[in-house]
Amino acid sequence: MNPAIEIDGRKIGSDYNPLVIAEIGINHGGSLDAAKHMVDTAVDVGIEIIKHQTHIVEDEMSQEANRDKVGYIGKTIYELMDDCALNEAEEFELEIC
């Protein structure tokens, strides 16, 4: 038998089915409804783990990130990240869905 690890009762190793993790990231564009839809879709197709990104923009971005617009985006990186961030209440709501 090959070595394995276990996460919450799910064995992971070469003797077990692959563990697929869906990466939602910031692809919801700051919309809780879109994030929930992505989670529901992932669950519907059998995904066991879903990863998204939590951003507290004012804590992680410097004001330099808010100076120059990125041409193809039309906004600064700060604005982009701010637009794609869920607030704290939305984060908790997404966690329990």
The predicted structure's pLDDT at residue 51: 92
CB 50 within 8 A of CB 21: yes
Q: Where are the domains of the chain?
A: 4-96
Among 22, 24, 23, 30, which residue's Cα sits nearest to residue 90? Answer: 30
Q: 96 by DSSP, 3-state: which? A: helix
Is the whole model's pTM more than 0.85, yes or no?
no
Report which residue type is found at 51. Answer: K
CB 93 within 8 A of CB 64: no
71: which 2 tokens?
């041409």
The predicted structure's pLDDT at residue 95: 81
One digit per residue, pLDDT tens: the chain, 97 residues?
789 999 989 999 999 999 999 999 999 999 999 999 999 999 999 999 999 989 999 999 998 999 999 989 899 999 999 999 999 999 999 887 6
